[in-house]
Amino acid sequence: MGYPAAPAGPAAGLPKSAYTPWLSRVLAWLIDFIPLLILEGIGVGVLLGTQETACVTDNSEYDLGEFCASGASTTGQIAIAVTAILALAYWVWNLGYRQGTTGSSIGKGVMKFKIVSEKTGQPVGFGMSFVREIIYWVIAGLCVGIIWLIAVLFPLWDEKRQTLVDKVLNHVALPI
C-alpha cells in the first residue's frame, strides 16, 4: 500500500519561462469560446430562418395599399432563449466547475496548462474560478474593453505572466 501523492507546492519563485505563455492563453480562450459561438449561431439561425411576415391592407379613403412587416417567430424566440441558456450552462460548467476543480477548462486542457492558486499550487475551486470569469466580464462591460484589454495583455510584460485579475486573485497559469 502506498501513500497518496503529496499536494503540489506553492507556485512562487519560479522563473518566467515556467509560466504559461500569453499566446497559449489566447488560443485556449478561443477554443473555450467556439462552443458558445456555435450555440448562439444555431439560435440566431433558427430565429432568422423562421421569421414571420404579416401584411395589412389599407382600405381607407387614402388607399395607401398593403403594409407588410417581418418579425421573430415563436419558434425563433424559443430557440434563441434555449441556446442562450445552454451557452450559459456550458460557460458555468467549463470555466467555473471544470476549470475550478481540475485547473483546466477545455481550451486550457487542449493547450496543456492549468490555473492554480499561487499560494497552494492547487486548482482554485468552483467559486473562485467562477468569480475570476465574472470579473473579466464586468471589467469588459464597465470599461468598454480598454481596461479589459490591458488586463489580458498584462502577461506580455509581467514576470509571472499573470493577467490583472490573476494578480488580484493570486492565480497563476502553469503548464501541465
What tens digit of pLDDT does each residue of 145-164 get?
788 788 889 999 999 999 99
Phi, psi of 117 (to 5 degrees): -70, 135
Q: What integer pLDDT is reported at residue 6 of this predicted model?
A: 44
Q: Which of 2-6, 41-45, 56-60, 141-145 has the highest mean pLDDT?
A: 41-45
Angstrom distances, CA of residue 107 to CA of 25, 34, 163 = 9, 10, 17
Query: Is the entire prediction scored with pTM above 0.85?
Result: no
Residues 17-38 have pLDDT tens digits of 899 999 999 999 999 999 999 9
Which residues on adjacent β-strands are paired with residue 68? 55
Coil, strand, or helix at residue 52?
A: strand
Long-range contacts formed by 136-140: CB under 8 A, 24+ apart? 136/165, 139/165
Place of cell 442562450: 84
